[in-house]
Amino acid sequence: MTKEGKLTHLAEDGSASMVDVGDKTATTREAIAVGQIKMAPETLTLIREGNLKKGDVIGTARLAGIMAAKQTSNLIPLCHPLLLTKIAVNIEEAPELPGLRITSTVRLSGKTGVEMEALTACSVTCLTIYDMAKAADKGMEIGGIRLVKKTGGKSGEWHADLSDSTTS
């Protein structure tokens, strides 16, 4: 949304349009997204010990998330193709869920933000974990995917209020 309360991807006639970022100043921009996948404790053990038939769940999911961030403009209409300078996907055990927590960080020096790339990386990481472990646990639950931080650009820095979040 703009300061005037208008959606940025709508033309005057109400049709969808890609935002023109040509006149914007290039700045270093970063976005961090988080998510989680809950599963049976036995499934978490299988993943940790590498005992699933499809192989290394964590390594494969991390690569899938990185690849997904690079493909965001092909997946989400009106997203700009970007020259990303960093994509990191961190996957940590969360025994209290039980399950895994995912954090994706995406950075570039450019004229538009990388929020969608961070969210896409996080989402596809979770989906890949589900795909690789579904033979053991079809009841896994993906959730809590959200942007938690963005920096750069005209709007500057933004942090989510995590005080009421289930994904901390």
For tokens 């055990």, what's the residue?
A: 93
DSSP 31-89: EEEEEEEE--HHHHHHHHHT-STT--HHHHHHHHHHHHHHTHHHHSTTPPP---SEEEE
Amino acid type, 147: L
Active-site option among 131, 137, 161, 164: 131
23 is annotated as an active-site residue:
no
CA distance 162 to 149: 11
CA distance 166 to 161: 11
Note whether 136 and 37 are within 8 A (CB): no
Active centre residues (catalytic)? 131
